[in-house]
A and B are shown apart, each in its own frame.
Chain A
Amino acid sequence: SQQGEEDPQALSIQEGENATMNCSYKTSINNLQWYRQNSGRGLVHLILIRSNEREKHSGRLRVTLDTSKKSSSLLITASRAADTASYFCATPGGNQFYFGTGTSLTVIP
């Protein structure tokens, strides 16, 4: 399967702490995307990193990509209660994206 797999499955932290979640995938990709999902509804795009990029920032988000290890990480700094959600990485394959089962993040106020 080309499916990206997130790790850990669940993460619980205190507000203000940093949260790191990882994604591993199996095939060569030209980009990798991270999405956020609240309450099992629609996903919201967070960030896209291309295969020739190693690191990308967007606000409190930092994404890294290591194509040699076929892995990516998403770091959320100074977490807030509103960051509580599920986070998915998506890797392209053919006409579709492959999504993992996600990391469920809980930020405790």
Chain B
Amino acid sequence: GAGVSQSPSNKVTEKGKDVELRCDPISGHTALYWYRQSLGQGLEFLIYFQGNSAPDKSGLPSDRFSAERTGGSVSTLTIQRTQQEDSAVYLCASSLDPGTVGTQYFGPGTRLLVL
């Protein structure tokens, strides 16, 4: 079956612009995660969605970052007034199991470059 997909693959934007990153999880996966990975670094947790529960937003670095998940499926990560330090690869993952008991399936990521 289809895996996790993300769009766009690459995004170049100017400082101060808003960007939207999209994630299509695997069908039936109730858990969805967003991570950020800066060059040569590990993954930084951003936000976690589980079913219809309120999302865990504890990893969002500032109020310029927000995310939503519509209908328990597609998710959009929005970064407002982008800064150069926002440049990174943004990774989405989904899981059949809630929390951290199961395998996460990752998308290919969106590489964001803020000029």
| Chain B residues within 8 Å of A18, by CB | none
> Among the listed A41, A42, A45, A96, which residue makes an inter-chain contact with B45, where contact means beta carbons less than 8 Å apart?
A96
| B11-19, B61-69, B75-83, B100-108 - the one binding chain A | B100-108
Asked if A96 and B42 make an inter-chain contact with CB atoms under 8 angstroms apart, the answer reads no
Asked if A40 and B37 make an inter-chain contact with CB atoms under 8 angstroms apart, the answer reads yes
- Interface residue count on the A side (C-beta < 8 Å): 25
| Chain B residues within 8 Å of A100, by CB | 42
Interface size on B, as a range, is: 20 to 34
> Among the listed B50, B59, B100, B106, which residue makes an inter-chain contact with A42, where contact means beta carbons less than 8 Å apart?
B106
Write the B2-40 contact mask toward A (1 if CB under 8 angstroms, else 0).
Answer: 001000000000000000000000000000010101011
| Chain A residues within 8 Å of B4, by CB | 42
B residues near A (Cβ < 8 Å) are 4, 33, 35, 37, 39-43, 45, 48, 50, 56, 58-59, 89, 91, 93, 99-109, 111
A residues near B (Cβ < 8 Å) are 3, 30-31, 33, 35, 40-45, 48, 88, 90, 92-102
Q: Can you report 17 residue pairs joining A to B where beta carbons are below 8 Å apart? A: A3-B42, A30-B101, A40-B37, A40-B39, A40-B111, A41-B108, A42-B106, A42-B108, A43-B106, A44-B106, A45-B105, A48-B103, A94-B100, A95-B56, A95-B58, A100-B42, A101-B40
